Amino acid sequence: MGRHGTIAGRKAAQDSKRAAVFTKYARAITVAAKAGGDPDYNVSLKHAIDKAKSINMPNDNITRAIKKGTGELAGETYEAGSFEGYGAGGVAVIVDVLTDNKNRTTSAVKHIFDKYGGNLGVPGCVAYMFERKGVIIVEKTDEISEDALMEVALEAGMEDMLSYDDSFEIRTSPDVFNAVTTALKAAGYELAEEDVEYVPSMENAPTSPEDVKNLTKMIEALEDNDDVQKVYTNCSVDLA
């Protein structure tokens, strides 16, 4: 599975809709904080805060999101969920959501799939084409030795490391993801991205430019929805 789009390209896309990303990350913090508001004792909360800080979310926003999760401030109750289906060209799609109104979100996601030639399916219809993996991205620089990076990650439990034009992608099992990220940070590496994701075990490529266009528009529309946290596909074509 190639990682599509450069780091610079993904950052530019993220910057263009920063307010929407703030909303999504704030929800993730609120949900994680339900298990405890101290990130030193709540790994999920620490991870959510780290992601928010990576896009320069103001500390006041982070604090407010934590307090909503712990009940110190009134706020909506969010429920995690996912949708599965096929986009144009038969590409498998998984959509992770955090919503305070499941019916609204289901309707919106179905509408987007239908509008761009996709089909929303039942739970499990495409999940078998993916594996849950910890994914850590380290940007390539002249100062970073591939061998040294691999050694640190391997000692912490890494499964694999892929090399791209502008980055290294380290993959782990979900249960050692936090151990590997901690080891890399302790060794002085700056992590461009870090998350537990759905990584496709089999890929599919749209056969026509029209399918690529519709799939791209569908993913963009899903990502623009405040309830949607992340969209995964098994598309082997760069949609960036």
What residues pair up with 161 in beta bridges, in sequence order? 170
Contact call for residues 67 and 189 (beta carbons, < 8 A)? no
- Whether the pTM exceeds 0.75: the reply is yes
Asked if the model's pLDDT at residue 8 lies above 70, the reply is: no
Average pLDDT over the chain, rounded to an integer: 91
Structure tokens at 55: 């896009």
> pLDDT tens across 115-145, in order?
999 999 999 999 999 999 999 999 999 999 9
Angstrom distance (rounded) from CA 225 to CA 131: 25
Structure tokens at 151: 């050694």
Domains along the chain with CATH numbers: 7-70 (1.10.10.200)
Cβ neighbours of residue 113 closer than 8 Å, sequence gap 6 or more: 85, 87, 93, 119, 120, 218
pLDDT-based confidence at residue 10 (cuts at 50, 70, 90): low
> pLDDT tens across 46-77, in order?
989 998 998 899 999 999 999 999 999 988 88
Average pLDDT over residues 220-236: 95
In the block, residue with structure tokens 């390539």: 140
Q: What is the DSSP letter of 237?
A: S
Q: How many CB atoms lie within 10 A of CB 57?
A: 19
